[in-house]
Structures are given as structure tokens and as C-alpha cells.
Amino acid sequence: LTPTRIYVRLLMPLIKKKLLKCLVHITGGGLSENIPRILSDDQAVSIDIEGSGWKLPPVFKWLQEQTQLDDFELTRTFNCGIGMILIVAADKQAEVMAALEAEGEAVMTLGNIEPRGGEEAEQVVMKGKLSWRQRKAAVPVARWIEEGVWQGGLVV
């Protein structure tokens, strides 16, 4: 595990260009408790683990083996290598991803922000099984469709 990363220098140019709609700092509470803070009650995030290519850092494999946490509890308790999620307009996603990659960040689209399946439905839906990686961590991004529906990339 590493100390909390400070993203100000990396993200401030994107903020000044008004390329970001929202930021989600993934801290204690992991994905399932931090992402809903930026969603309305009728929105959910669908994370396509396998389709996105998201791979967890090896330390989380060790933690999962030692603690016997299931995938949900692991991603609820830890950030699992995702420190920040950015929400961006669909027409700005390529620009944001290119800017982050130019700074040496590994970037990928994790999933979509979409309508929630009812009041009792989860707001963070993980599709697929977690797997492990041997590569650099990344910064997440999502798109905002102007009609008022959240969609698109949570880019890690």
C-alpha cells in the first residue's frame, strides 16, 4: 500500500479548461461508498471489470488471500488501485484521456454511469471478476451525456 496520492498538479490543467464534470477521490469506503456521493438517487455506475482491462495491483491479491474478503468487500474497503475517478463530457473524453496519457498516466474506460434499476438497486454494479496486474496504476474518467444521463468511461 502507498500513501494517498495528491492529484492537484495532474488535474488542475483539466479543471481550468473546464474539461471535468466531477471528481471522485477513492479513499476509505472504496468504490461502493465514494462513487454514489456524486450520483443522484436515480443513477448507478456499471463497472465492466473484464471489458475495461482493469487489473488490480498485486498487493490487493495478497490482501484478499490473507483476509478472505470477496470482491465486493475488497473494493468497498480499499481503492484497489483506483485513486481518482473523473467524470467528463462524452465529447471531451478523448481529450482528457490524451492529456493524462501525455503526463505518463495509464488510462482506461471502466464502465458507464446509467439509470439506476430502482430505489433498492445498488449504485455501484461490478460486472466480472477481479484479476491482478503487473502494470502502472491509472486515473479514472467518465462521460456526461448532455441530455442529463450519466454515461461512459470511468477511466482508471
Q: What per-residue confidence (pLDDT) applies to 156?
A: 36
DSSP-derived 3-state class of residue 53:
coil
> pLDDT tens for residues 13-70?
999 999 998 999 888 788 889 999 999 999 998 888 888 888 888 888 888 889 998 8
Give 125's contacts (C-beta < 8 A, 6+ positions apart).
44, 45, 46, 47
56: DSSP letter: B
Please give the Cα distance from 102 to 88 (Å, whole number). 17
Cell numbers of 43, please?
443513477
Q: With contact defined as beta carbons under 8 Å apart, do 31 and 97 qualify?
A: no
Predicted TM-score of the model (pTM): 0.76
Q: How many C-beta neighbours within 10 Å does residue 77 have?
A: 18
- Where do we find the cell 458507464? 112
In this structure, what C-alpha cell is assigned to residue 65?
Answer: 488471500
Q: Identify the residue with better confidence: 87 or 44.
A: 44
Q: Which of 35-44, 83-92, 100-109: highest mean pLDDT?
A: 35-44
The pLDDT assigned to 150 comes to 38
Could you give phi then psi for residue 65, rounded to 5 degrees? Answer: -65, -40
Query: What's the rounded mean pLDDT across residues 87-116?
Result: 88
Angle at the Cα of 77 from the Cα atoms of 43 and 88, rounded to 5 degrees? 40
Q: Which of residues 37 and 112 earns the better pLDDT score?
A: 37
